[in-house]
Structure 1
């Protein structure tokens, strides 16, 4: 075993044999080496970077069982299918498993490489007693940001894991997350008892995802354009159950694609059926609340859209990260309005007072991402403490740079109008005052006698609405309970000329900008035949198609056309187990073409 742990060739040989890959990606090898060396580690790796491999590979190589703490049953079962397809001895111990007695017996007998468990059960004394009955190789804590109150998905049960970990002092700990800023990372290290020297940050960039952020002028039309332009599975996030139902029905009607809803108001049977259909699909769209997604390890999602603003940059990063996990091109689209930010700022007041500053900072950061005329990716990565290039070449602002306009004086006029009219009127009324409109309501209130009446010329007037949206997103203008606009943070600094205001001229038409980059060969009969075989084999095994092979593996097959099992075994993504199970069937299809 000492030779195994010190020989870097051994992990690479196991990687080829089990997963069919010739090389590790990113920091995978660094993390695996630490785990095999018995060192506890916090690995911050972007979604799609192969976090699960960093504990699945050591689980096969090390004596004993790797215990994986995971937050959702659906996520555990998804990873269970993928692990078993690669020949890894894996099981889950959850409330949804009828075979729990058999799983416990297999653990005691040392017949499991991986045992998945929810944090609620992991913290129970009975589970600790079970673990004492057979060697534990590793504790892996997935979605580790849930342990931190600073994280955007705090789960109190994760805070109860430390006693379990401490009762096995010689077992290394591996914490994994895709979304943790510096403050959250420090808290995870403390809560899980991992030393500062155990932090590995791979970076947050997902270069295959194209980011597009658009003002929402007609959400249904804009989403219809997205579905028409981009084939393949997709997720659309909406803020309420009613919006989910409405969008799923209307998009299904106008696009003729299979579109299903997912939210907590559906029965558990309907949720399970819709989720299973989505996981198995190659072109379905799921319209969902944020309740959907964390439990989905589907690699071939081609687009993620937000029909309104997400909760924070962290939530946005995690939710958009569900696209393109296979490394192929994917698209993220956010549709926003000033009303979204106004509502979010109102909701801040309902939170506990100690949480308000942190949540306000998160909302301000999200507003900065929405407003920026510069590279979206650079803004996103800087939020997570990185120092990226100024441009990425794969976001809407890089692909079609907006014209930047300095509007400080116009902002002062708009804020003055809000102040002088009593901070109780909406944008429409302020616009009429500023442009000197002949309006009875303006005259009745004497607002035609104010110094701000008619001070905005026609050329400037068309910039008032995008300026108002930008000021609301920043919180410089806030919506009152009666729908009026009042002065908010930084408004005074703008009025005094101490803070410049710059906005991007919004693109016309509200269309998603940028190139359409299809991931798969269009109309290739061999590729389509391989996909058809994959669908049949997946249905026969009752697993999603991607568990058989990813699209990238099928593309390489179609391109290289292997003639025998030896050649097939050199294709990326085909390990020994899958070669034995599926190799001959795919060779037959290739031979026919």
Structure 2
């Protein structure tokens, strides 16, 4: 993990041991776009970006990761392989700067990011983000539709507090009377502060089909490859690259699936119509976040262009 890579004295002693270095043939960085995210924090650039704060657990609490470059480069010429499904040109530029690399030192292998099996819907929210009440309309009562008939779904919120509110809304909609029950049979929550044993229970029971819905932050899913997930719901605004990663967690088996974006109808201090975008040559992350909520372009195309 990046934590061990940067902070573990034991791993550092092994990593820089001449015998280890002599046998090291390749260093791989998966989810390489996160190097840019952490770099924004370390450099202070994230302070002015509302898009960065929309996903509480994306990395804003780990500022040391902006310094990964020095450690990655201290390998006596060992090849470095960086992989990501969502990495815009500007993010690639920032990553190369962080790693002290130039483009002529890197060989790029690019492929189209197409997931035709995902049906994407963007829905304007009628209620506030804090209430998460828009979710209630997606689920009928337990008597009408038993848990066994609910498709496996991941519901992503932008903060840990909202994951609890989502459970409350779902409990009321289902009329299940399981509020506060850690072993509830419809939905449970997952975030970075969830205890290790609870995390194992949630992921294990969800995989086994014990319950169909997980309410979570971005702490869930990075590196996961659940083939049973049929639907992903994201509530609120967020960085388009991060949302693209989230929505891509459904339909991993290649079968038809549904991705839903619940967006705020009016974004305070944001751009709320196409005409608000006056500088078409440059868009910062806040602009991209607002554009995703209103673009008339097919969402599949929008994500493809963005990445």
Alignment of 1:264-279 (within 5 A): 264=192, 266-279=194-207
Q: Choose the corresponding residue for 1:377, options 293, 300, 305.
A: 300
How far 1:266 moved relative to its partner?
4.4
- Which secondary structure state, in structure 2, belongs to the residue aligned with residue 235 of structure 1? strand
Give 2:156's aligned residue.
237
Mark the CA change 1:207 to 1:282 in structure 2 (over 3 Å): closer, same or farther: farther
8 Å CA contact retained: 1:232, 1:282: no
Give 1:479's aligned residue.
none
Mark the CA change 1:278 to 1:235 in structure 2 (over 3 Å): closer, same or farther: same
Give 2:242's aligned residue.
315
Deviates more, 1:316-325 or 1:125-134: 125-134
- Which secondary structure state, in structure 1, belongs to the residue aligned with residue 238 of structure 2? coil
Matched, 1:223 2:145: no
8 Å CA contact retained: 1:123, 1:160: no
How far 1:185 moved relative to its partner?
1.2
- Which secondary structure state, in structure 1, belongs to the residue aligned with residue 90 of structure 2? helix
Give 2:68's aligned residue.
161
Alignment of 1:30-429 (within 5 A): 70-71=1-2, 118-121=5-8, 125-130=12-17, 132-133=19-20, 135-148=23-36, 149=39, 153=58, 156-192=63-99, 196=103, 197-217=106-126, 219-224=134-139, 231-239=150-158, 240-250=162-172, 253=175, 258-264=186-192, 266-281=194-209, 284-306=212-234, 308-338=235-265, 341-342=267-268, 358-369=284-295, 372=296, 374-384=297-307
* More contact order relative to length (CA 8 Å, sep ≥ 6): 2
- Which secondary structure state, in structure 2, belongs to the residue aligned with residue 328 of structure 1? coil
Which sections of structure 2, spanning at least 5 residues, go unmatched? Answer: 41-45, 47-51, 53-57, 127-132, 178-183, 272-282
Mark the CA change 1:270 to 1:208 in structure 2 (over 3 Å): closer, same or farther: same
Which sections of structure 1, spanning at least 5 residues, go unmatched? Answer: 1-69, 72-93, 95-116, 346-356, 385-593
8 Å CA contact retained: 1:147, 1:156: no
Normalized per residue, the structure richer in helix is: 1
Give 2:280's aligned residue.
none
Q: Matched residues in 1 for 2:208 and 2:28: separation?
A: 27
Mark the CA change 1:289 to 1:248 in structure 2 (over 3 Å): closer, same or farther: farther
Q: Matched residues in 2 for 1:344 and 1:122: separation?
A: 45
How far 1:326 moved relative to its partner?
2.5
- Which secondary structure state, in structure 2, belongs to the residue aligned with residue 247 of structure 1? helix
- Which secondary structure state, in structure 2, belongs to the residue aligned with residue 137 of structure 1? coil
8 Å CA contact retained: 2:28, 2:82: yes
How far 1:243 moved relative to its partner?
1.6
Q: Matched residues in 2 for 1:170 and 1:265: separation?
A: 38
- Which secondary structure state, in structure 2, belongs to the residue aligned with residue 245 of structure 1? helix
How far 1:251 moved relative to its partner?
5.2
Structure 1 or 2, whichever has the larger Rg, is 1
CA deviation string 1:75-98 (max 9, x = no partner): xxxxxxxxxxxxxxxxxxx8xxxx
Mark the CA change 1:121 to 1:203 in structure 2 (over 3 Å): closer, same or farther: farther
Provide TM-score, normalisation by structure 1: 0.38
Mark the CA change 1:233 to 1:275 in structure 2 (over 3 Å): closer, same or farther: same
8 Å CA contact retained: 1:233, 1:282: no
How far 1:119 moved relative to its partner?
4.6
How far 1:333 moved relative to its partner?
0.8
CA deviation string 1:53-86 (max 9, x = no partner): xxxxxxxxxxxxxxxxx45xxxxxxxxxxxxxxx
Provide TM-score, normalisation by structure 2: 0.68
How far 1:344 moved relative to its partner?
7.4
8 Å CA contact retained: 1:121, 1:127: no
